Amino acid sequence: MLGIPDFWIWLAYVLCIASTLLSVGYGLINWNKGGEADLSGDTAKWAEEEDKISEEL
């Protein structure tokens, strides 16, 4: 197994590479999806107050 005698070390390498590939794939698939989050309820009120404060500064 590529000169790695211990199965658990080999497994750690494989899982690191697999998680990297999955993360990159997920990022590429979801690159331009979405946009502004749909704000509702308390979050919308907080965002409006935050915008007012930012404009005053």
How long, in residues, is the chain? Answer: 57
pTM: 0.54
Confidence (pLDDT) at 1: 63
**If you write DSSP's letter for every residue of 1-41 in order, what string do you get?**
-TT---HHHHHHHHHHHHHHHHHHHHHHHTTT---S----T
Walk along the chain (57 residues) and give the pLDDT tens digit of each residue. 678 889 999 999 999 999 999 999 999 998 888 766 665 677 778 888 888 888 877
Here the tokens at position 33 are 């999806």
Is the Cβ–Cβ distance between 10 and 1 less than 8 Å?
yes
